[in-house]
Structure 1
Amino acid sequence: ASVMRVTWHKRLNQIFCGVSDGTIRIYYDPHLSTKGALLSTSRSARKQDALELLLQSRHNPQTSIQGTIVAPNALPMYQDPEHNHVAKRKRQDRKDPMLSKCPEAPSDVKHMEGGRSSASTTFTQFVVQSTNMVKNKNIIGQDPRKDLFQYTEGKKIYAGRAYEGNNPEGGNLAETTAEQAEEDMKNAKKKKI
């Protein structure tokens, strides 16, 4: 575009040029000029709204500027290769779950790799199953005292000098369970009656 008019402002020390496409260009020295264009250059750029962007993109009929014409149904020799495959690429991107940021679909498998499981199990159940924390599932009918006594057989238990004399040989475990004690009391009451 050609310059139509040039003006120098004496006080601001800046040169203003009016151009044929409707723009104004300002030339200045940041050390010698004052105010004017320096005020707007020190500010951050203003956010443009949609209407302003639309008006800027419109063609000015008084200039010889030509934009690109997009004709999707034109003959192949006249089509612009840049705009040709945009819709196709968008369709392919939509099918890709990573690019479209699509959430994972729920699985119908009971247990999957990587810590994911179906909705029937909770995270705690998954951790317990994966770390094999459940080893003795069937403990009904077993006496837990026998398992505890096997660790103390033949060993003297020390908890410190204060408890050394108070600790009996068999450990601090009771001879009978609470259920057995209740049954013994019921039997004793029946005998009295």
Structure 2
Amino acid sequence: MQGKKVIPTTCTYNRDGSLIAAACQNESIQVWDRNLTVRPKFHYKQAHDPGTDTSCVAFSYDGTALASRGGDDTLKLWAMRQFNKPLFSASGLPTMFPMTDCCFSPDDKLIVTGTSVQRGCGGGKLVFFERRTFQRVYEIDITDASVVRCLWHPKLNQIMVGTGNGLAKVYYDPNKSQRGAKLCVVKTQRKAKQAETLTQAHIITPHALPLFRERRQRSARKQLEKDRPDPLKSHKPEPPVAGPGRGGRVGSHGGTLSSYILKNIALDKTDDGNPREAIRRHAKAAEDNPHWVSPAYSKTQPKAMFAQVESDDEEAKNEPEWKKRKILRIS
């Protein structure tokens, strides 16, 4: 403006993005065409009172109107065909936040904005104005704090409100709203169907059933006696296999005729006698009738000569000196 830079406080686009509107700190509202970015297409210098900041500008859904929420406690409606002056202006809407919103309803019939209050001096409201006459048609008491942000969602048809004390609320119509908060609403409890019938129920105590009965501690002897019939718990050995072997086990003897004969009829050749006595039994016969050993020595050694048995002491004396055991005596 006149070669000076100004700081915008808020801006917005229209629905198709062809127009860009911005409110600046010099109380002006400027609208640019997307195709003409050098100079604004629409410009109004004193849109709101000097020394105040415009907190919000919003296009209507049909793109023919613009609403502005000023820091001078006013809400104004501007026509895009005649931007030299506001069409309507509503006052008495206090605001103390630089981001207080205003918006259009999805059908462009209403304009809504919020009001601010001092702490402990009442509650903030959500105020609705009719677009054609700019009459205040409805208002909602939100909470005991200022209403800062508001949004009327076009698809959900629900109003979201944010307050100065950190509270967020969603307003919806059960019939006209779609999804959104309706999905979070607690469903009403279904009424139970009352059926008057007489039944005789059986009372079953769970601890009386064998499945839930706790096992009592028994002595080791009684436990062994109880486990005795069970072959798995008592580790009962497998009985011998009758007949031919199977399952990796060798069958018992006597299953065939040959094994019966070998077991009962065949002679037992095991010899448990003394071999020395068995040899001495033939000594006299060998002396009377020598046949193997004696004839070989009949000429050279007719009389048998045997080595004399010497004691261990004599053998030790006869050993050479280098073989004798040496004893070391320590005094």
Q: What TM-score, normalized by structure 2, do the two folds share?
A: 0.14
Higher strand share: 2
Q: What TM-score, normalized by structure 1, do the two folds share?
A: 0.21
Higher helix share: 1
| Larger relative contact order (Cα-Cα within 8 Å, sequence gap ≥ 6) | 1
Structure of greater Rg: 2
